[in-house]
Amino acid sequence: MAEAMSSRRPASDVLVVGAGPAGLAAAYRAAESRLRVVVVDDNPDAGGQIWRGEQREPRSREAQEWFHRIRRAEIELIAGARVYQQIEPGTLLAETSHGDVLELGFENLILATGARERFLPFPGWTLPNVMGAGGLQALVKNGLPVDGKKIVVAGSGPLLLAVASYLRAHGAEVLLIAEQAAALRLARFGIGLARHGGKTSQVFALRRELKGVQYLTDCWVVAAHGDEKLERVTLRRAGKRWEVSCDYLACGFHLVPNLELAELLGCEVAGGAVSVDEFQQTTVPQVYSAGESTGIGGLELSLVEGEIAGLAAAGKLEDARRLFPQRAKQRRFADLLNRTFALRDELKTLAAPETIVCRCEDVVFDRLRAHSSWRTAKLQTRCGMGPCQGRICGSAVEFLFDWKAESVRPPILPVRVESLSHKKAQESQTRTNLRSEI
Amino acid sequence: MPDTVSLSVNGVAVTVSAGSMVSTAVLKTGVSSFRRSVTGEPRGPLCGMGICFECRVTIDGEAHCRSCQTVCRNGMDVRTDG
C-alpha cells in the first residue's frame, strides 16, 4: 500500500488545536514570549464557528482586533488539517485537505477544540433543510443565499437569537423563534444579566434587530414534515399544536463541548467538559484546554481562558493569574446561562418509536430503548458506529437514556486509508488496540 | 483574486462568490438531498461544520468529501448521490 505524503515539522513550543477565539487568544499570548507557536484547525479559515467568515465579511470589531493581533504576531497557522491521532506523547498526526499527513511535534499543547450543537431527534429531523441553528448560520456565512427564505429558528440557547438576527440581516424571513426554556427561567436570566453590563447591551441590540419576530418561550418543534425535503413543521406550546410552512428549520439545543481529542490524550473529562486547573492545564502535564471544550461559556470566557492557557504554557504564571478575576466573572455568567437553558424533560418524549436517532446507521429509537448502555446498543445496533463516530447521536442518547460516552479510539475522525497506513500511525494503533484488549 | 468561481453540480453550471463552500453551491442549484442514507432516505447538511458527515458528495471523482469544509474551485465537478 502506498504511504501518504508525510511531512514532519519542527516541534513547536506551543501547538494549539483550534483557531477559534480561545485558540487564537492562546496562540497570541504564547507568541508574545517569542515561542514557536503553531495553530492547526480543520476549517479552511481561522475564526472557529463564532468568527466564521469574519475575514471575508467583517461584522465584529472584537474579531477584527484579534485577527489584526494574530497577523502581526509570529504564529504559523495550518488550516484545513484535521488532527486524528497521537503517535506518541508530544506528537500528533493531522490529515490535510489534500490527503497529506503532518506530524506535529510539541512541547506544550493547548486544546481549543470548541463545541458543537446538541441535536435531539424528533419525527422528521432527518429531512433535508432541517439543520442546526448554528449549522444554517455556518452555511450562510459560507455563501448560501437566504433572501426571501421562510425560516423557523428553534431549540434552545442564546445562539438562537444571534442566528435569527444574522439570518434576518441576510434577507431571510424569520417566522418565529421557538425557545424550549420556560419564561420564568428567562426572566431570572434577564435579572442575572443586569450584573453583566456588557451582556445586557448585547441582548438589547439583538432585541432591536429582531423587532417584529415572535420569540416564543416554552415552545418547541414536535415534528418536521415533507416528502424529499422539509415543507412544514409542527410546533407545540402550552398544550397547543400548530403547523407552519417554511423553507428551512434551524434547530439546535444549546451546545456541547468537543472532547474527542482530550479523551484520546487521556485528559480527565468530568460533567461533559475537559477538567482543568487554575492555569487551564488538564490532568495530562503540559496539555492545556481553553474555551468551550472546558464547558460552554460563550465568547468572552473563551477569550480569557485562551489568554490564561497561552500565558501559562509560556511560563508566565503571574501574568496569567492577573486574568483570574475576569475569568471568574465570565464563569458566573456561564453558570447562569447553562441553568437557564437546561433542557426540559418533555423533550425526551419527542422521538417516536420509528424516529431515527443515529443518522449514520439509521438506528431508530425503538431499537435503542431495549438497551441499558451505549456500549451494548453500539454492539447490537451500530448506533454511533458510523462516520460521525457518535458526535451527533452521542449527546442525544446521553439526554434521552442517560448513557455516558464510550472511550475514544484513534483515529478520532474517518481518514484516508493512506493516513491510517502511515507507518507511525499503524504502530500506535497496534499499541492502543493491544492495550484496550488487555 | 476574482470575485466568483464557476463549477458544476450534477452537470449544472453554477457560479458562487469566491470562498464559498461546496455545500452552498449544491444548495444554490436547488438540490437539497446530498446523499442517501443506509436505508435510502434523502439527507442534506445538518451541522455545517464538518462533524455530522451528512453533506458528503463526490468531488472530481473522489467520494465522501464533506461539502461544508471544501472551498469551491473553478471547474470543480460535484456529484450528489441524493
Write the CATH number for A164: 3.50.50.60
Report ipTM for this prediction: 0.97
Q: Pairing mode, if any, of strands A214-216 and A269-270?
A: unpaired
Q: CA–CA separation, B44 vs B54, rounded Å?
A: 6
Under 8 Å between Cβ of A141 and A57: yes
pLDDT class of A5 with cuts at 50, 70, 90: low
Asked whether residue A138 falls in the same domain as residue A238, the answer is: yes
- Sequence-ordered alpha helix ranges (H) in A382-422: 393-401, 417-420
Inside any domain, residue A419: no
Asked whether residue A360 falls in the same domain as residue A264, the answer is: no
Bigger pLDDT: A1 or A134? A134
Inside any domain, residue A233: yes
Q: What is the pLDDT of residue A1?
A: 38
* Chain B partners within 8 Å of A127 (Cβ): 42
Distances (CA, A) of A44 to A17, A312, A339, B69: 14, 28, 34, 7
Terminal-residue alpha carbon distance, chain A:
29
Cβ distance of B50 and A42 shorter than 8 Å: yes
In this prediction, residues A228-240 reach a mean pLDDT of 96
In this prediction, residues B48-73 reach a mean pLDDT of 95
Under 8 Å between Cβ of A137 and A53: no
Inside any domain, residue A223: yes
- Domain of B47 in residue numbering reads as 4-79
B46: nearest CB among A135, A362, A386: A135
Asked whether residue A180 falls in the same domain as residue A58, the answer is: no
Inside any domain, residue A300: yes
Q: What is the pLDDT of residue A124?
A: 98
The pLDDT of residue B1 is above 60: no
pTM as predicted? 0.94
Write the CATH number for B70: 3.10.20.30
The pLDDT of residue A332 is above 60: yes
User: What average pLDDT does the structure give for chain A?
Assistant: 92
Q: CA–CA separation, A351 vs A255, rounded Å?
A: 20
Asked whether residue A290 falls in the same domain as residue A176, the answer is: no
pLDDT class of A433 with cuts at 50, 70, 90: very low
Asked whether residue A14 falls in the same domain as residue A76, the answer is: yes
Domain boundary among A228, A253, A278: A253
Domain boundary among A207, A228, A253: A253
The DSSP output letter for A83 is: E
Q: What is the pLDDT of residue A189?
A: 84
Asked whether residue A387 falls in the same domain as residue A335, the answer is: no
Q: How many structural domains are present in chain B?
A: 1
Domain boundary among A253, A277, A296: A253
Going by C-alpha positions, the residue among A37, A36, A217 that lies closest to residue A112 is A37
Q: CA–CA separation, A161 vs A207, rounded Å?
A: 8
Q: How many structural domains are present in chain A?
A: 3
Asked whether residue A238 falls in the same domain as residue A141, the answer is: yes
pLDDT digits (tens, 9 = 90+) for A143-152: 999 999 999 9
Q: CA–CA separation, A370 vs A374, rounded Å?
A: 11
Cβ distance of B49 and A129 shorter than 8 Å: no
Q: What is the pLDDT of residue A432?
A: 44
Under 8 Å between Cβ of A361 and A381: yes
Under 8 Å between Cβ of B48 and A139: yes
Cβ distance of B20 and A143 shorter than 8 Å: yes
Cβ distance of A97 and B69 shorter than 8 Å: yes
Asked whether residue A264 falls in the same domain as residue A293, the answer is: yes
pLDDT digits (tens, 9 = 90+) for A55-101: 888 989 999 999 999 999 999 999 999 999 999 999 999 999 888 99
The residue in chain A having the minimum alpha-carbon distance to the alpha carbon of residue B34 is A128
In this prediction, residues A172-182 reach a mean pLDDT of 97
Q: Of A56, A119, A129, A139, which to mutate for an interface test with B (greatest number of B Cβ within 10 Å)?
A: A139
The pLDDT of residue A293 is above 70: yes
pLDDT class of A427 with cuts at 50, 70, 90: low
Inside any domain, residue A437: no
Inside any domain, residue A350: yes
Asked whether residue A187 falls in the same domain as residue A273, the answer is: no
Inside any domain, residue A108: yes
Percentage above 70 pLDDT, chain A: 95
Asked whether residue A43 falls in the same domain as residue A142, the answer is: no
Inside any domain, residue A429: no
Cβ distance of B28 and A144 shorter than 8 Å: yes
Q: What is the pLDDT of residue A434?
A: 41
- Domain of A393 in residue numbering reads as 345-401
Asked whether residue A309 falls in the same domain as residue A331, the answer is: yes
Cβ contacts below 8 Å, chain A against chain B, sum to 116
Q: What is the pLDDT of residue A428?
A: 60
Q: In degrees, to the nearest 5, what angle opens at C-alpha A395 toward C-alphas A394 and A397? A: 65
